[in-house]
Amino acid sequence: MIPKYRAYTEKHGLREVRSMYWTDRGLYVTLENGTGAPIRVKDPVLIRPTGAKDIEGTEIYAGHILGLDKHRSNFVDFLPAYGFILRPCNEILRNNGRFYPFTPKTISGRRITGNIYENKELMNE
């Protein structure tokens, strides 16, 4: 059994991953499309689950934007050397490298307000 991943593609948006496999042409995944028929895509952006939930009980994935209020939002990222981290949304464009640990304390009271793939407008707040 594979871990529960999500994948993002420009054409299909954000979807649940049903299966994934490698070929000599790259990674392919089969996505849920709501009707049970699979969608096969090559080279999607795979999104890892964190194992944590937001204030409403929704599972948090890398790429989710978590907000306390309109002015304090962070997005979840994954760095191999650190694991899951929180980055300020308004600093992604500045690329200054500031981040915070992803812990129960740092995500306490936060809710998912969007994701970095489909809600780019939230990244400038």
pLDDT at 25: 73
Q: Which domains does the chain have, with CATH numbers?
A: 6-47 (no CATH), 49-124 (2.30.30.290)
For residue 42, the SS3 value is strand
Residue-level pLDDT at 95:
55
Is residue 24 classed as helix, strand or coil in its secondary structure? Answer: coil
Rounded Cα distance, 81 and 2, in Å? 23
- pTM, whole model, 2 decimals? 0.79
pLDDT tens digits for range 43-97: 678 888 998 999 999 999 999 999 876 667 889 999 888 899 998 886 655 556 7
What is the pLDDT at residue 36? 60
State the residue for tokens 């070929």: 23
Could you tell me how far CA 95 lies from the centroid of its own chain?
Answer: 19
Q: How far apart are CA 75 and CA 63, in angstroms?
A: 6
Cα separation, 5 vs 25, whole angstroms = 21
Predicted local confidence at residue 60, as pLDDT: 94
Where does residue 96 rank: exposed (0-12), middle (13-18), buried (19+ CB within 10 A)? exposed
